[in-house]
Amino acid sequence: MASNITQTHYNDMTPAKKVSKKALNKMIWRSLFLQASFNYERMQAGGWLYGMIPGLEEIHTNKDDLALSMSHNLDFINTHPFLVTFVMGIVLSLEQEKADIQTIRSVRIAAAGPLGGIGDAIFWLTLVPITAGITGNMAMNDRSILGAILFLIIFNGVQFAVRIWLMHWSYNLGTKAVSVLTDNAKEFTRAASILGIFVVGSLIAAYGTTSIRIILTDPVVDVQGLLNGILPKMIPLAITLMLFALIRKGWSPTKCILLLIVIGLFGTAFGILAGDSKAQNEDGSTIPGGYTPLVEWYDYPTE
């Protein structure tokens, strides 16, 4: 929803001085509150204006122009919260040059749009899987809270660095930054997505431990060993491909999670899926297979 603004130019058309680094840094910090007043009418407009105010106050010394600028900066906007400073820098450079108001509004929407896919590819499909894979392994193996702390430090350190760099780069580059973004958006998004998928696939191979518990006797046949001879990690791969197919058919992530819970409970109850719970019987001896299933439909060889 756009503001009801009919005026197309500011009253004072003299280009303003460059915004101070202090104001730019304030805008960077305020960008953290982009979604603080998120709503379905104008999405991130309230947080956007809050972030823009330090720069607008330095540019528009005329109070009527400042009010006008604040009004049209309350237009609908929806962009990636970690990359918003890119749009802020571009819009601020246009405000500094006292560009046509309609031009500023159009550029703001044009710059904000493509950032959703790019930001998801950078952060959710690349940075998070890589960082979580490394620090998660540290937390599981070392049983240390350092893994969680390190994850937060790396993730937030990267996104803060991106916010700072984008603000100063886009502000200095001005509207040329839009063409740089749009000309390379598809290629960049595709490259980041491929890297993220590669990392997720590596995590499946490294941490996918789902295996078959069944060992048949007379003659002894280790079903999991047989599968490993054909293709190691076959079960985790099959589960991943199954979930991929279900999501393509319209299943939600919640349904997929519930399905995995059902499969886990069923497989454990019937002794199909392997476990390493180190369960012991009354004599203190380790129970073969890691646990005793509720339904024992085959004989497990004794150690």
| CA–CA separation, 38 and 274 (whole Å) | 46
Total number of domains in the chain:
2
Q: Is the pLDDT of residue 97 over 80?
A: yes
Closest C-alpha among 97, 159, 150 to residue 126 = 159
Tell me what pLDDT residue 20 has: 93
Mean pLDDT of 24-31: 96
The mean of the pLDDT values for the chain is: 84
Q: Which range among 31-45, 104-118, 245-259 shows the weakest confidence by mean pLDDT?
A: 104-118
- Mark which of 207, 231, 266 sits at the end of a domain: 207
Burial of residue 213 (number of CB atoms within 10 Å: 0-12, 13-18, 19+): buried
154 and 188 housed in the same domain: yes
Decide: pTM greater than 0.95. no
8 and 80 housed in the same domain: yes
171 and 244 housed in the same domain: no
189 and 219 housed in the same domain: no
181 and 297 housed in the same domain: no
Mean pLDDT of 232-236: 88
167 and 111 housed in the same domain: yes
Q: Is the pLDDT of residue 152 over 90?
A: yes
Contact yes or no for 56/195 (Cβ under 8 A): no
For the chain, state the CA radius of gyration: 28
6 and 106 housed in the same domain: yes
Indicate the residue type of 12: D
Mean pLDDT of 54-71: 94
CA distances from 199 to 1, 89, 128, 196 (A): 40, 32, 10, 5
> Nearest 5°: phi and psi at 221?
-130, 110
Assign 277 a pLDDT band (cuts: 50, 70, 90). low
54 and 120 housed in the same domain: yes
201 and 222 housed in the same domain: no
104 and 154 housed in the same domain: yes
Those residues with Cβ within 8 angstroms of residue 83's Cβ, 6 or more apart along the chain or in another chain: 115, 118, 119, 122, 162, 166
52 and 174 housed in the same domain: yes
Mean pLDDT of 166-184: 73
Q: Is the pLDDT of residue 224 over 90?
A: no
191 and 263 housed in the same domain: no
Assign 196 a pLDDT band (cuts: 50, 70, 90). low
- Mark which of 182, 207, 232 sits at the end of a domain: 207
The domain of 218 spans 210-303
Assign 302 a pLDDT band (cuts: 50, 70, 90). low
What count of other Cβ atoms lies within 10 Å of the Cβ of residue 111? Answer: 25
